[in-house]
Amino acid sequence: MARFTRAIYPGSFDPPTNGHLDLIARGTRIFDELIVAVLRNPEKHPLFSLEERIEMLREVTAPLGKVQVEAFEGLLVDYAAERDASVILRGIRAISDYEYELQMALMNRKLNPRIETVFMTAAESYSYISSRLVKEVHLLGGDIKDLVPAVVQQRLKAKVPV
């Protein structure tokens, strides 16, 4: 019998990039439903507020269907269990991501062995993109047109005119 699988794609998304969007799009081809879960992380002083990050993600994922965008706080595995999700989806860009991701996956498995972490490799063309570098390049006057969805570029320009 086919099983309905709901996956959670968690992150800070400060801001969402084309790499995130690519992973979300590919995730929707594998899972029945994908919840993009945005971390409420005021202690990290994100550039975009939680509401802004959610708005941008909702806008860019709307054409995909099957995607919900929500905020979460506390332990990711508790949130996943609450939402009846059996999979945590994470993207891996390079070997350097792997160590941190492995550590998180193992900790999450220890906390709740019924939730499986699934890694997807980033598309080559997006493998160098990170939210941190996008912000840095923009702040220093570089062109981020090919790195983020248009709405994110507009919001970045509005927030940090350069």
Positions that interact with ligand PNS (CB under 6 A): 10-12, 39, 75-76, 104, 107-108
Q: Tell me the C-alpha distance between 5 and 85, whole Å.
A: 7
- Work out how close the CB of 127 gets to ligand PNS at its nearest, in angstroms, rounded to a whole number: 15
Nearer to ligand PNS, 38 or 156 (CB): 38
Nearer to ligand PNS, 43 or 124 (CB): 43
Q: Tell me the C-alpha distance between 77 and 92, whole Å.
A: 19
- Work out how close the CB of 105 gets to ligand PNS at its nearest, in angstroms, rounded to a whole number: 8
- Work out how close the CB of 115 gets to ligand PNS at its nearest, in angstroms, rounded to a whole number: 11
Q: Tell me the C-alpha distance between 2 and 54, whole Å.
A: 31
DSSP H helical ranges for 31-146: 50-61, 76-82, 95-111, 131-139
Please report which helix (H) or strand (E) contains residue 148, including its range: none
Q: Tell me the C-alpha distance between 14 and 24, whole Å.
A: 16
Phi, psi at residue 125, to the nearest 5°? -65, -15
Nearer to ligand PNS, 20 or 155 (CB): 20
- Work out how close the CB of 39 gets to ligand PNS at its nearest, in angstroms, rounded to a whole number: 4
Nearer to ligand PNS, 39 or 87 (CB): 39
**Catalytic residue numbers?**
20, 44, 93, 131
